[in-house]
Amino acid sequence: MSLLLCWAVMALHLATGVDAASGVVNTTEEEVEGVDSQSPCPAGWHQNEHRCFSFYPVWATWATAELYCSQHRGNLMSVHSPGQQMFVQDLVRRHTDQPVWIGGYDAAQEGMWLWSDGSAVDSFYWEEDEPSNSGQGENCMELHVEGTHTHTHTHTHTHTHTHTHTHTHTL
């Protein structure tokens, strides 16, 4: 198994009452250390749609990146709206041209894509005939941003109106 340079995009949920057993972080503004009174997000984090996002540069497998994020009270990034997808693509584009692990995986059941926070991958826009799995049992999502194009690699291809591709990686 090879290691990749990845920027783990984490989403720190700001909602209360979320079931912690599902893997979703149960956090309120008061529970987050280092929160600025002007922002519900900790210093260095970026807010979008009641969620906070941050980059952590790590050489890691997808599973190690998810563990790292959970140790920092988050998950690898999940996308729950077209606006959030555009926000994350822009955020990644401003910080790196390296691969970025995101929270999509289908390791539990082939073809059933979930986000690492336990929610279904229902707002991610797959390209026709994808995910294809490339015959290799690929299970994890990785985001690439190149210039004005965004590629979400899973060794399958997806895209949005900004040209997103998805390639999976085996856990």
Q: What is the pLDDT of residues 94-121, one digit of tens each?
A: 877 777 888 888 888 887 888 888 888 8
Q: Which CATH architecture is the domain 4-9+53-169 placed in?
A: Roll (3.10)
Phi first, then psi: give them for residue 105, nearest 5 degrees: -155, 155
Quote the CA–CA distance of 135 and 39 in Å, as a whole number.
45
Q: Does residue 95 contact residue 2 with C-beta atoms inside 8 Å?
A: no
Burial class from Cβ neighbours inside 10 Å (0-12, 13-18, 19+) for residue 125 reads middle
In 85-139, beta strands by DSSP E: 100-105, 114-115
Q: Which two tokens stand for residue 96?
A: 């790196």
Is pTM, for the whole model, over 0.85? no
Q: What is the mean pLDDT of residues 116-133?
A: 68
